[in-house]
């Protein structure tokens, strides 16, 4: 239970300070008044948390579990404040997640906030589409259904992230080992070999001269590369702070071969998954479009959804609106039109989202399958070049001696 530090007047001329325990600030004030004090300063004490918890991060699967549990408790007839209080004391809620649930509980009970408003106070945990979807559920009276759909979306996103990380773990490890090995060679091994070869007093083979030249360049100008990369990253971040520039950059990305198509399908899959889930939970189509729009990271596609939203508000069908937007995959508008005709628009969107997800899973698997042997061949070629550059002068000196 929260603790509140207070300053209050008691007997004439007496000012008392202390700590009182209560459910809320108003409860603390009422308790002091019952004890005969007149409080003039009451502030909740926030105990210092362990460093690990302060620096920790709430994982997406924890948010999914919290969302699913909230849906189950609300569906069983429990009130919002009681459900939050129960989850705050659950054994599986540990560390930063427990503090997060407790903070949301305090906002709902003490400040009278809705769940969407309390979640919006933590934008690093609850994305804008999450709070927008919850707000739609609160306004429509089907919050538990929306929470259930949100939990399914978050669980799917967590599974996709886990698959990508697992697929890229080995290639990234190999790349890191290769980079470290080459750095050590160019900084420490090559200079020693260069001095040794100079003592031979003979013309060095081309591979050896290249190796020594690259080593000299790395030692002399290697510091420029990380500075250039850091400058490029900072410059891109600065440019993306301008909405107009960010939209242009994102539109250029969509026009790139292969990359643009992959971005379209990944963004469309996420958008459709959320839009279909909200429509299945009986959220009005305009509110569902606005909520699902917040899941898009590409600003050019977000701008397209603004036009779709206005079209649907004006009475145009969702399918026709998407057909007129060339940045989205062409199949999307056809599937939506079919779903509208059969009055199963939400289900059609969810099916299409799953189709895009499967397609991207296959693409990631194919890229990973090709990436591993490509890295092995590349690293093998680099090692073979270095070995040849080291051994050729030695063989050349032996032949000269004969």
pLDDT at 8: 81
* CA dihedral of residues 232, 233, 239, 240 (deg, nearest 10): 150
The least confident of 90-99, 157-166, 247-256 is 90-99
SS3 readout for 65-85: HHHHHHHHHHHCCCCHHHHHH
Query: pLDDT tens digit string along 72-96?
Result: 999 999 999 889 888 888 777 677 8
185-241: per-residue pLDDT in tens?
A: 888 888 888 888 777 677 788 888 888 888 888 888 878 888 998 999 898 888 888
Mean pLDDT of all residues in 242-268: 85
Is 141 part of a structural domain of the chain? no
Q: 281: which 2 tokens?
A: 């939970």
Question: Rounded mean pLDDT of the chain?
Answer: 82
Q: What is the pLDDT of residue 121?
A: 87
| DSSP 8-state secondary structure symbol assigned to residue 122 | -
User: Does residue 214 sit within a domain?
Assistant: yes
Query: What range defines the domain where residue 249 resides?
Result: 154-402
pLDDT of residue 12: 66
The predicted pLDDT at position 214 comes to: 86
Q: Are residues 182 and 327 in the same domain?
A: yes
* pLDDT tens-digit map of 316-360: 888 888 888 888 887 888 888 888 888 888 888 888 888 887 887
> What's the count of helices (H) and strands (E) in the chain, helices before strands?
18, 3
Mean predicted confidence (pLDDT) in 296-325? 89
CATH number of the domain residue 380 falls in = 1.20.81.30
Same domain, 21 and 97: no
Mean pLDDT for the stretch of residues 301-317 = 90
Domain match, 108 and 246 both: no
Q: What mean pLDDT comes out for the span 271-285?
A: 82
Q: Specify whether 201 is located in the same domain as 74.
A: no
Q: Are 106 and 184 in a shared domain? A: no
Q: Residues 122, 260: one domain? A: no
Instruction: Judge whether 132 lies within some domain.
Output: no
End of a domain among 79, 106, 126? 126
Q: Is the pTM of this model over 0.95?
A: no
250 and 344 belong to one structural domain: yes
Q: How many domains does the chain have?
A: 3
> Do 113 and 177 belong to one domain?
no
pLDDT for 161 beyond 70: yes
pLDDT of residue 1: 57
Q: What is the pLDDT of residue 52?
A: 39
Would residue 20 count as lying in a domain? yes
Q: Is residue 143 part of a domain?
A: no
Round to whole Å and give the CA distance between 366 and 217.
36
The answer on 198 and 173 residing in a single domain is: yes
Distance (Å) of CA 32 to CA 4, 75, 250, 274: 11, 38, 58, 48
Q: Clarify whether residues 306 and 166 are in a common domain.
A: yes
The region of weakest confidence among 45-49, 143-147, 318-322, 346-350 is: 45-49
Same domain? For 231 and 118 the reply is: no
Output 267 or 281, whichever has higher pLDDT. Answer: 267
Q: Is the pLDDT confidence value at 9 over 80?
A: no
pLDDT at 51 over 60: no
Q: Are residues 184 and 297 in the same domain?
A: yes
131 within some domain: no
pLDDT in the model for residue 47: 55
Q: Does residue 211 lie in a domain region?
A: yes
Segment 373-385 shows an average pLDDT of 87
Judge whether 142 lies within some domain.
no
Contact 301, 267 (CB under 8 A): yes
Q: Are 247 and 300 in contact (CB under 8 A)?
A: yes
Of 120, 109, 114, 118, nearest to 140 by C-alpha is 114
Strand arrangement, sheet containing 3-9: 15-21, 3-9, 38-45
């Amino acid at each position: 239970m929260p603790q509140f530090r207070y300053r209050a007047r008691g007997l004439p001329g007496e000012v008392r300070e202390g700590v009182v325990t209560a459910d809320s600030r108003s409860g603390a004030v009422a308790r002091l008044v019952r004890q005969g004090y007149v409080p003039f300063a009451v502030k909740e004490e926030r105990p210092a948390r362990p460093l690990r918890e302060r620096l920790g991060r709430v994982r997406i699967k924890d948010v999914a579990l919290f969302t699913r549990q909230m849906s189950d408790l609300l569906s069983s007839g429990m009130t919002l404040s009681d459900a939050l209080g129960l989850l705050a004391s659950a054994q599986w809620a540990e560390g930063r997640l427990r503090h997060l649930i407790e903070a949301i509980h305090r906002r709902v009970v003490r400040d009278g906030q809705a769940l969407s408003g309390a979640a919006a106070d933590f934008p690093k945990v609850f994305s804008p589409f999450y709070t927008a979807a919850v707000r739609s559920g609160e306004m429509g009276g089907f919050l538990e259904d929306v929470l259930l759909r949100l939990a399914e979306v978050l669980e799917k996103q967590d599974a996709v992230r886990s698959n990508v990380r697992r697929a890229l773990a080995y290639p990234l490890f190999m790349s890191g080992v290769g980079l470290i090995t080459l750095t050590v060679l160019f900084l420490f091994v090559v200079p020693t070999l260069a001095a040794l070869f100079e003592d031979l007093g003979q013309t060095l083979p081309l591979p050896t001269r290249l190796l020594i030249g690259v080593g000299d360049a790395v030692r002399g100008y290697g510091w420029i590369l990380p500075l250039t990369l850091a400058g490029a990253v900072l410059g891109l971040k600065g440019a993306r702070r301008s909405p107009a520039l960010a939209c242009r950059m994102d539109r250029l990305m969509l026009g790139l071969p292969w990359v643009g198509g992959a971005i379209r399908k990944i963004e469309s899959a996420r958008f459709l998954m959320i839009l279909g889930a909200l429509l299945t939970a009986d959220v009005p189509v305009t509110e569902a479009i606005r909520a699902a729009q917040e899941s898009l990271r590409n600003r050019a596609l977000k701008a397209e959804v603004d036009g779709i939203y206005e079209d649907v508000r004006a009475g145009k069908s969702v399918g026709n609106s998407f057909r007129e937007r060339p940045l989205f995959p062409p199949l999307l508008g056809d599937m939506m039109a079919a779903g509208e005709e059969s009055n199963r628009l939400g289900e059609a969107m969810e099916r299409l989202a799953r189709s895009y997800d499967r397609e991207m899973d296959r693409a990631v698997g194919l890229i990973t399958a090709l990436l591993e042997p490509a890295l092995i061949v590349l690293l093998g070629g680099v090692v073979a070049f270095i070995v040849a550059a080291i051994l050729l002068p030695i063989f050349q000196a032996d032949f000269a001696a004969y």
